[in-house]
Amino acid sequence: MKKTAVVLFSGGIDSSTTLAIALKEGFECLALTFHYGQRHAVELEAARRIAAAMGVRDHRVVDIDLRQLGKSALTDKIEVPKGRSVDEMSRQIPVTYVPARNIIFLSYALALAEVTESRDLFIGVNALDYSGYPDCRPSFIKQFEEMARVGTKAGVEGHPVRIHTPLIHLTKAEIIRRGTALRVDFALTHSCYDPDPQGLACGFCDSCLLRKKGFHEADIPDPTIYSRR
Amino acid sequence: MKKTAVVLFSGGIDSSTTLAIALKEGFECLALTFHYGQRHAVELEAARRIAAAMGVRDHRVVDIDLRQLGKSALTDKIEVPKGRSVDEMSRQIPVTYVPARNIIFLSYALALAEVTESRDLFIGVNALDYSGYPDCRPSFIKQFEEMARVGTKAGVEGHPVRIHTPLIHLTKAEIIRRGTALRVDFALTHSCYDPDPQGLACGFCDSCLLRKKGFHEADIPDPTIYSRR
C-alpha cells in the first residue's frame, strides 16, 4: 500500500511544486486547501485545477473564517503594499502577515494526518524569499513538529508526524526550476494578493514581484498574465 | 489600562473556573468558545449564560467545522463509552479524543491574542483527571508556548504569549472547591458528552462520572440534573 501524506496546498508556485515533489517521492497525496475569507478566492479555483491536473484524487477545501479574528491585509480592507523592493520586504514583517496563519493551517493538517493515519505532512514554506513571515522559518517548523509529537495521540504512541519542507532553503528561481522539471503547469498557478475582478494578477504586490523576479532569475518565461505590465 | 487575556472557554467546570481565576487576577477577559460540530451544542448555551453571569463583555463564538476532519465520538456517530472507572479512563486515550483539538483551539486563541495585543492566554487543561488526552499535559503546553514564541510576530518581536494553566495540577474536587470559592455558578455549567434531547446530562459518560466524583470528593452538593441517576 502506498504511504499517504497531507500536503498544504494553496494553488501558488510554492505549494504546487511541493505537491509535485511529494508525488514524485511516491506519496499518495491528500491536498488540503483553506478557504479563509481571503480576498483572493481565485486561488481556490487555481488549486482545484492544479490538483486535478496532477491527478490528486483527494483534495479537500476546508472553510475557516479567519475574518472573525481580523487585522490583516489578506482578510481585511487594509491597502496591500505595492512596488516594494525585495530588500524592503525582508526588513520587516509586512501588513499582509495573518496572525498565526501557518500555525492554524498546520494544526488542521495535523488533525487530518491523524485521522487518515498519515505520518507525513508537506508544507511549501520558504526561508529565503519568505517575505518576512516568522511562521516560515526552519526553527518554527522544528518547534511545531516537536509540539505535535508531544501533543497528539499519534506522537505519544510513537509514530509522530514528520513535517517535510522541501523548499525551505531554495530561492524562488530554484523553486521554479524544480517545478518546471517536475512538469508543474505554472500557468495554472496563482500568486497575487490583489487580483483584479477578472482574477488577473496585479503585478506589483510583494507576491507578484517575487514571482516575476523568480521567473526572471530562473531564465524561464513567466506564463502569468498581469493586468498591468 | 487593564491587561487583556484570551480565555479558552467551553462552558464546563474547568473553563468556567479558569475564567473566574483570570478575572480574579485582574485581566480584562476575552472568552473564546468554539462551535465545532460537536453533538453537545448545549455547551454553547451554557457558555453564553456563564460568560454573561460573570460580566464578560467580549465573548466570541467561532465556528470551526471539525466534522470535515472526522473520526471522534464527539463529532461523529461513534458510541460514547459509559460507566467506565476513572482507572479505565486514564489507561488509554479514549475514542472521545478529537485529533489535535487543543492544538487547533490554541492556534486560534494565539491568533486572537496577537490581533488584540494580549500577551496572556488561559486554558483550563488538567493533567490529573484529564481523561487520557495527550494535549492536556504540561509538556505539551510548554512546547506549544515555545512554538508560538518562534512562530508569531509577537514572539519574534520580544513579547511572546504566555499560556496560563491554573488547573493543571488540581484534581476535579480541588477545581470545584476553587470555583465555588470564586462564586462560579456550577448549575449553569455543562459537562456531558452525550446529553438527552432536552440537554440533560446522561450521568454515565466519562465526563459526567468525573464531574460526579469531583463534587462527591469536594463534599459540595452537585447541582447538576441528570437524566438518569
- What string of DSSP letters covers B100-165? THHHHHHHHHHHHHHHTT--EEE----SSS-TT-GGGSHHHHHHHHHHHHHHSHHHHTT-PPEEE-
The pLDDT, as a whole number, for residue B43 is 76
Least confident of A49-63, B80-94, B101-115, B168-182: B80-94
Of B207, B209, B172, nearest to B193 (Cα)?
B207
The pLDDT, as a whole number, for residue A74 is 45
Round to whole Å and give the CA distance between A11 and A31.
10
User: Mind listing the pLDDT tens digit for each residue in B92-115?
Assistant: 555 556 778 899 999 999 999 988
Q: Which residues between 45 and 104 in chain A have a beta carbon less than 8 angstroms from any beta carbon of chain B?
A: 60, 62-66, 68-71, 93, 97-104
* Amino acid, single-letter form, for residue B40: H
Q: Do A147 and B144 touch (CB under 8 A)?
A: yes
Least confident of A52-56, A110-114, B76-80: B76-80
**Highest mean pLDDT out of A125-129, A152-156, A159-163, B124-128:** A159-163
Chain B nearest CA to A204, separation (Å): 24
Q: Residue B73 — pLDDT band, cuts 50, 70, 90?
A: very low
Phi, psi of A82 (to 5 degrees): -125, 150
Task: Cite the beta strand spans of chain B per DSSP E.
Answer: 4-8, 28-35, 58-63, 120-122, 162-164
Residue B75 has pLDDT above 70, yes or no: no
Residue A208 has pLDDT above 80, yes or no: yes
Q: Do A156 and B134 touch (CB under 8 A)?
A: yes
Q: Residue A79 — pLDDT band, cuts 50, 70, 90?
A: low
User: Mind listing the pLDDT tens digit for each residue in A150-162?
Assistant: 999 889 889 999 9
- What is the share, in percent, of chain B residues with pLDDT greater than 90? 51
Which domains can be identified in chain B, with CATH numbers? 4-190 (3.40.50.620)
Q: How far are the Cα atoms of A80, B23, B189 from residue B186, in angstroms, in the given order?
A: 48, 17, 5
Name which residue leads in pLDDT, B59 or A191.
B59
Contact A188, A45 (CB under 8 A): no
- CB-nearest to B152 from A100, A139, A146 is A100
Residue A37 has pLDDT above 80, yes or no: no
Contact A134, B154 (CB under 8 A): no
DSSP-based three-state secondary structure for B70: coil
Round to whole Å and give the CA distance between B141 and B147.
10
Q: Is the interface score ipTM higher than 0.90?
A: no
What value does the mean pLDDT take over residues A118-141?
Answer: 85
Least confident of A57-61, A72-76, B115-119: A72-76
Q: Do B111 and A69 touch (CB under 8 A)?
A: yes
What value does the mean pLDDT take over residues B203-218?
Answer: 90
Tell me the average pLDDT of chain B: 85
What value does the mean pLDDT take over residues A35-47?
Answer: 74
Q: Considering the entire predicted model, what is its pTM?
A: 0.87
Closest chain B residue to A96 measured between Cα atoms?
A: B153
Q: Residue A90 — pLDDT band, cuts 50, 70, 90?
A: low
A156 touches chain B (CB under 8 A): yes
- CB-nearest to B62 from A68, A115, A143 is A68
The pLDDT, as a whole number, for residue A76 is 54
The pLDDT, as a whole number, for residue A63 is 83
